[in-house]
Chains A and B, each alone.
Chain A
Amino acid sequence: MTSMQRPIDIAIVGCGAITEMGHAPGAMLSPRVRLKTLVDIDIAQARKVAQAHGITDVRTSTDKLEDSVEGVILALPHHLHKPICIEMLGKGLHVLIEKPLGCSVAECEAMTDAAKKAERVLATAMVRRFVSANVMAKQMIEDGTLGKVKSFQIVDADLFSWPIRTPFLVENYPGRGVLIGNGSHIFDLVLWWFGDVETVHCEWDSNLGCETDASIDLTMKSGVTGHIDLSRIRRLDSLIVINFEHGSLRLPRFGSGVEMLSPSGELLSTLEPHSNRLYASNSIYLADLMAAQINDFADAVQGQQQPEVDGIVATDVIRVVEKCVASAQLRPLPWQRPVVMPG
Chain B
Amino acid sequence: MNNLRVFVTGGTGFIGSRLVEVLVEQFKADVTVLCHRTSPGALRMAALGVKLDFSRIDDKENLAKAMTGCDAVFHLAFGQSGSASDMRNTTINGTQAMVDAALEVGVAHFINVSTAAVYFGAPDGVIDETAPMRAWGWSYSDEKFEAEQIVRKAVAERSLPASIFQVAGVYGPWGATFLVSPLTQMRQGIVVLPNYGRGIANLTYVDDVVQALLLGLKKEAHGETFVIKGPGTITRMEAYSELEKMLGYEAVVGMDTNEIKRKAGSYDWGSLKRILPVAISELKRSKALKAEVRNSPIAPMAKSIYNMLKPKAGAVQAIQTIGPPPVEARPPLIYPHPIMVDYLSARVEFSSAKATRLLGYSPRYSLSEGMGLSHEWAKWANLLGPRFKN
Contacts and interface: CB of A to CB of B under 8 A. Distances in A.
B22 interface: yes
Q: Is the interface of A mostly helix, strand, loop or mixed?
A: loop
A212 interface: yes
Contact of A335 (B22, B211, B373): B373
A176 B43 CA distance: 10
Contact of A212 (B26, B35, B44, B361): B44
Interface stretch (A55-63, A96-104, A110-118, A165-173): A165-173
Contacts of B364: 340
A6 interface: no
B380 A234 contact: yes
A276 B323 CA distance: 47
A339 B38 contact: no
A236 B39 CA distance: 17
A170 B52 contact: yes
A170 B173 contact: no
Contacts of A337: 207, 373
Contacts of A4: none
B381 interface: yes
Given A341-B214, A342-B215, A167 B40 contact: no
A53 interface: no
B262 to A, nearest CB: 37
B299 interface: no
B379 to A, nearest CB: 9
Contacts of B43: 160, 169-170, 210, 212, 232-233
Interface in B19-58: 21-22, 26, 35, 37-40, 42-49, 52, 54
B38 A167 contact: yes
B46 A169 contact: yes
B341 to A, nearest CB: 30
A160 B52 contact: no
Contacts of A212: 40, 43-44, 46-47
A235 interface: yes
Interface string B91-113: 00000000000000000000000
Contacts of A339: 22, 26, 207, 210-211, 214
Interface in B205-241: 207, 210-211, 214-215
B382 interface: yes
B207 A169 contact: no
B139 interface: no
B362 A342 contact: yes
A208 B47 contact: yes
Contacts of B376: 334-335
Contacts of B35: 167, 170
A169 B362 CA distance: 38
Interface residues of B, number: 36
B374 interface: yes
A233 B44 contact: yes
Nearest to B382: A236
B377 A335 contact: yes
A339 B215 CA distance: 12
Interface in A159-218: 159-160, 162, 164, 167, 169-171, 176, 205-206, 208, 210-212
Contacts of B47: 205-206, 208, 210-212
With most chain B CB atoms within 10 A of its CB, the pick from A169, A171, A339, A341 is A339
B37 to A, nearest CB: 8
Interface string B145-159: 000000000000000
Contacts of A336: 21, 173, 373
With most chain A CB atoms within 10 A of its CB, the pick from B38, B54, B207 is B38
B208 to A, nearest CB: 8
Nearest to B47: A206
A212 B362 CA distance: 33
A177 B270 CA distance: 46
Interface in A28-47: none
Nearest to A232: B43
B115 to A, nearest CB: 21
Contact of A170 (B45, B215, B361, B381): B45
Contacts of A340: 211, 364
B42 A159 contact: no
A343 B38 CA distance: 38
A237 interface: yes
A171 B51 CA distance: 8
A205 B120 CA distance: 40
A212 B48 CA distance: 10
B38 to A, nearest CB: 5
Given A338-B26, A339-B22, A233 B40 contact: yes
Nearest to A164: B38
Interface in B260-316: none
Interface string A221-258: 00000000000111111000000000000000000000
B210 A160 contact: no
Contacts of B386: none
Contacts of A159: 40
Contacts of B326: none
B360 A335 contact: no
A203 B388 CA distance: 30
B377 A232 contact: no
Contact of B380 (A164, A176, A335, A343): A335
Contact of A160 (B39, B173, B360): B39
A159 B380 CA distance: 13
Contacts of A210: 43, 46-47
Contacts of A169: 38, 43, 46
A178 to B, nearest CB: 8
Interface in A322-343: 334-343
B20 to A, nearest CB: 12
Contacts of B54: 167
Contacts of A233: 40, 43-44
B38 A341 contact: no
Nearest to B210: A339
5 contacts: A205-B47, A206-B47, A235-B382, A236-B382, A336-B21
* List of 9 A-B pairs having minimum Cβ-Cβ separation, nearest first: A206-B47, A170-B46, A335-B377, A335-B376, A342-B360, A335-B373, A342-B362, A233-B40, A212-B43
Given A212-B47, A235-B381, A343-B360, 12 more contacts: A169-B38, A210-B47, A211-B47, A212-B40, A232-B43, A233-B43, A335-B373, A335-B377, A339-B26, A339-B207, A340-B211, A341-B1
Interface of B: 1, 21-22, 26, 35, 37-40, 42-49, 52, 54, 173, 207, 210-211, 214-215, 360-362, 364, 373-374, 376-377, 380-382
